[in-house]
Amino acid sequence: MLFITVTLFILSFETAIFEVPIKAVTNISIISDIIRKKEKKDTTPIIIATIPLSIPSDTSAAHKDSIIKIFYSFSIPDRVTSYLADTSDVAINRFIQKLYDLKIGKKKKIRIAFFGDSMIEGDLISSTLRKLMQQKFGGYGVGFVPVTSIVANERITITHRFSDNWQDVNFKNHRFNTAPLYISGHTFFASGKSTVQVEDKTIEQDAPLNKYLLFGYANQTIDINSNGVIKKLQPTGHFNEVLLDNSNERKIKIEVSDDNLPLYGLSLESPEGIIVDNFSYRGSAGIEYGKMDTDFLASIAKTHSYDLIIMQYGVNLLEKPDDGNFDWYYKPMKIAVQRIQQSFKDADVLIMSTGDRAFHYPSGFQTATGLLALLNLQQRIAFETGSSFFNLYSSMGGENSMVKWVTDNPPLAYKDYTHPNSRGADVIGKSIYNALLYEYNKIVIKNH
């Protein structure tokens, strides 16, 4: 151990002080906590792209100038852009109008689906957005909870317990099973007597909490035990939703013995107001949704509709320091976004870009060299699919912001130079909320 420690110290010293590149220890430095590089803070908005790659070369100069104005807003931090020529117009207009209607009492409930990778795992980012949105527009409850989760013990918004005999069919092993996957990327089946218990830890007031069970098709009536009461399920549709309980109780426990019933999860929500569902899947790039059955997705939309779908992806594409060509990602991700749009016709789609990610280069930890190429591709997909865009990279601070987040005191990110910690996730959640509120205030001013 002493030999290894001394060796790592010498190698870390050479790479950090003398900037000697040693490939074998590129991402290892045991003295990183005491090495500080002075950085000049630059608050100038970063213009990544002014003209989308798909514009024909014979486009007139006047038309290109107008598009440059549209794309300027794409790089502004803490803002949503819908690539509108007039930036005073409201971005994600349908969703923002629904917020306004909810605030003045016209609409009862608004659902937000937050799709993402390990960046939002454990309800990170989404929990902050949920809390702020519910405080402003009403509503309570944690929303969707899967039957099982690999981060159940790390999630502070719920207490989540389950038996270890559930069969989990998911994005990774689905090829061995014909069951349709839920939008969480998982479908669960009981194996013998299987149980799951969830307690909502987000609610402060004493009020009724609706507890729904979400499940798929089975060719027979199935009995389950819900908080000690036998419930008969009629799983006749591709997607089904049944209200198990609407008391003030914050806890729900179900027991299932029939292995024919596809279960997706539970939803704990208020009768009205804002509901934010976290759909994280570790390692996902988002392209998995391009292969999902549109009829099944449409059946979800019919029963359990969404008003805004946030798609946060990208960091998993930056696997190596020299990754820079993401052309392969363009078509499958565009198909995935279009499939979501076609299935959830009442929802606006907001593409949330990759955040900053750093690797160790000869000069030290820096933003991945291929990050801007990926960011460029993501905004092109947003533009071409008619989606809105949130620039997470710019909102984190732009170039080398992840290095700063890691070295801040207290830090905002982990030393993998990839994932924000709970403090960083809180910053990002507030940034998204402020971006949505900025658009909401536009419509308030417009209507008054």
Fold match between 61-139+272-448 and 143-271?
no
- Across the strands, what pairs with 267? 144, 212
What are the helix (H) ranges across 119-255?
126-137
pLDDT in tens, the chain (448 residues): 888 888 877 777 666 655 555 555 555 666 666 655 444 433 333 334 433 444 445 556 655 555 555 666 688 899 999 988 777 889 999 999 999 999 999 989 999 999 999 999 999 999 999 999 999 999 999 999 999 999 999 999 999 999 999 999 999 887 656 778 999 999 999 999 999 999 999 998 899 999 999 999 999 999 999 999 999 999 999 999 999 999 999 999 999 999 999 999 999 999 999 999 999 999 999 999 999 989 999 999 999 999 999 999 999 899 999 999 999 999 999 999 999 999 999 999 999 999 999 999 999 999 999 999 999 999 999 999 999 999 999 999 999 999 999 999 999 999 999 999 999 999 999 999 999 999 999 999 988 8
Q: With contact defined as beta carbons under 8 Å apart, do 272 and 137 qualify? A: no
How far apart, in whole angstroms, are the C-alpha atoms of residue 128 and residue 159? 17
What pLDDT does residue 71 have?
66
What pLDDT does residue 15 have?
64
Pairs from 54-57 (Cβ < 8 Å, separation ≥ 24): 54/380, 54/384
132, 233, 264 from 138: Cα distances, Å: 10, 31, 26
Q: With contact defined as beta carbons under 8 Å apart, do 45 and 394 qualify? A: yes
Query: What is the separation, in whole angstroms, between the first and last Cα of the chain?
Result: 70
Q: With contact defined as beta carbons under 8 Å apart, do 74 and 48 qualify? A: yes
Instruction: Say what the pTM is.
Output: 0.86
What's at 342, amino acid-wise?
Q
Q: With contact defined as beta carbons under 8 Å apart, do 395 and 78 qualify? A: yes
How far apart, in whole angstroms, are the C-alpha atoms of residue 339 and residue 201? 34
What's at 246, amino acid-wise?
N
DSSP string, 326-357: -HHHHHHHHHHHHHHHHH-TT-EEEEEPP---
Residue (of 112, 178, 53) closest to 429 by Cα position: 112
What's at 202, amino acid-wise?
T
Q: With contact defined as beta carbons under 8 Å apart, do 318 and 357 qualify? A: yes
* Assigned architecture for domain 143-271: Sandwich (2.60)
What's at 192, amino acid-wise?
G
Q: To 10 degrees, what angle do helices 93-103 and 126-137 make?
A: 50
Residue (of 31, 33, 38) closest to 15 by Cα position: 31
The CA R_g of the chain, rounded to the nearest whole Å, is 23
Residue (of 309, 349, 346, 274) closest to 103 by Cα position: 274
Beta strands at 388-390 and 348-352: parallel, antiparallel or unpaired: parallel
Enumerate the domain spans of the chain: 61-139+272-448, 143-271
**If 0-12 CB within 10 Å is exposed, 13-18 middle and 19+ buried, where does residue 315 land?**
buried
Which 3 state secondary structure label does DSSP give 59? coil
What pLDDT does residue 40 have?
40
How far apart, in whole angstroms, are the C-alpha atoms of residue 284 and residue 313? 7
Fold of 61-139+272-448: Rossmann fold (3.40.50)
